[in-house]
Chain A
């Protein structure tokens, strides 16, 4: 039933994966509300949204691990997600929940996952050797997984997802709990996979500096896809002007002094920095308001600002019962 509803024309060459009206209901609860988007070939695609917005559920449907209530996915140059075995053999998936066996060594874990993917013998040996080199954990092959740092465990989990040489990689919050240095290294690896191996990567993250590194982004909220585009295009779509003040101390007091003021759409802290979004046409008022706290400078909006802005628009449109999607094109 699912397949007939999708259009059968081949995907454009630049598109590697297409989600077509994916819906997932758990009982009466709609976790994913008919999302449609394209993931470009060989790019790093970021999937962002608040907790519980439906990111993991969407990924599990795209990875062929969860049956959609309706809708489908197409990709890999001519496959449909309902062709489950072939579909799954071409993708790698790293779940949000840690999936390695803590009581096995790194190499034992990789051998186990290799066999799950049907690899064995010299081919498996070679893949393990290659990946422990590229992902830089060679010297730890005989270490118990339990004693690895979070960053290192995530690299081993990435290796496990790459053993069978997938063309598409789903990474669900791969850097949760990883320290700043480990996160940077992990992102260099993701980049290399896309740039050098031509792999298509779909990744979720709550770190906005990581989102910034993606070629394209989709935002999801309450199971609705609310925007899709390149980071700089999404930023251009923001209404109002962002101002930033460096504070010496007492950040929360500074925030309390301006929060809710009429010229401001939003006010929040980023460490000892106060950031405010001035409403359109109220920039001068906003400037004089925050100048009392320090010297304001005009700042580039972050993707967090974009998200907050989109979420506000979404709430307003929901109230006016209009269709929820706004596409940003470049």
Chain B
């Protein structure tokens, strides 16, 4: 559906994409992840034909209709929710009866059913984003490009949105989506990790995680700050983050068992040995490590 070869895009002195090779097949649900400023939005704009490459090529399947939800969607703030959707349906020549039924169903699923008559300008931030999503899903293009579609959307609505996306995917749509939510990236058939204009990793989630070079530990303790202070003195640990009552630790190098031993030793008296264990890495670990390596 999409093929990028040596794709580059420069804006003046700034290189937003620096040689991207990527094929996305028909029917894939592909997730793009990466820090902000990595080039995700530029990639979407190139695919949508809103920009032309500085070098390299980008091809989209012949005649494939596509829809794009840009990161900052522009709605007509002086039109109501329903009017915005009507207008969108007419622009894309969706028959009005069909468009209306579909809009009603989609609005209901994201909890927006009561607000059809409200001016878009008077919607809350997340409601505007939901309207943008409904507008994009109204037309059923063959290719759907979604640039961080769920930013600002509440958790329960995010669940519903992904159920809808999954249905569309099953109907055969090709979907490319960028997201800062690592749980959402896991729904993709494949994902690409973009950083500073380069694709650092492409593959299934398992492939990407298998390539992660560091051991990860988890510590369970109600005294998170106490544990944090102790850990500061252990060189084998180079990153600590908090998740509720859990602490998530990254080993600097070496094998998992060595680090497990030194962390257990370092926390004696504070955390029992079985409160420290090795866990598999997550996509968030991949993310954070890449960022740390760029910074230093």
Contacts and interface: CB of A to CB of B under 8 A. Distances in A.
Interface of A: 26, 49-52, 55-56, 96-97, 147, 149-151, 173, 176-184, 206, 208-209, 212-213, 231, 251-252, 268-272, 300, 304, 307-308, 311
Interface stretch (B91-99, B238-246, B253-261): B238-246
Given A181-B288, A208-B155, A212-B243, A26 B125 contact: no
B122 A26 contact: yes
Contact of B183 (A50, A213, A270): A270
Nearest to B291: A181
Contact of A206 (B127, B154, B184, B245): B154
Q: Which of B37, B129, B151, B244 has the most CB of A within 10 A?
A: B244
Contacts of A178: 36, 180
Given A149-B36, A206-B153, A271-B182, A56 B244 contact: no
Interface string B117-149: 000001111110110000000000000000010
Contacts of B166: 252
B125 A96 contact: yes
Given A177-B180, A209-B243, A184 B155 contact: no
A254 B291 CA distance: 34
Contacts of B37: 149-150
A184 B124 contact: no
In the complex, which range does the number of interface residues on chain B fall in? Answer: 35 or more
A307 B157 CA distance: 13
Contact of B155 (A149, A206, A213): A206
Contacts, number: 111
Given A212-B244, A213-B242, A177 B284 contact: no
B104 interface: no
Contacts of A209: 243-244
B159 interface: yes
26 contacts: A50-B126, A50-B154, A50-B157, A51-B152, A51-B157, A149-B35, A151-B35, A173-B152, A176-B151, A176-B152, A177-B180, A178-B36, A181-B35, A181-B287, A184-B241, A206-B152, A213-B242, A231-B244, A251-B186, A252-B166, A252-B187, A271-B183, A271-B186, A271-B187, A300-B245, A311-B156
Contact of A51 (B154, B182, B185, B243): B154
A177 B148 contact: yes
Nearest to B12: A147
B14 interface: yes
Nearest to B242: A213
In order of increasing CB-CB distance, the 6 nearest A-B pairs are A51-B126, A271-B186, A271-B183, A149-B37, A149-B36, A50-B154
B71 interface: yes
B151 A308 contact: no
A180 B288 contact: yes
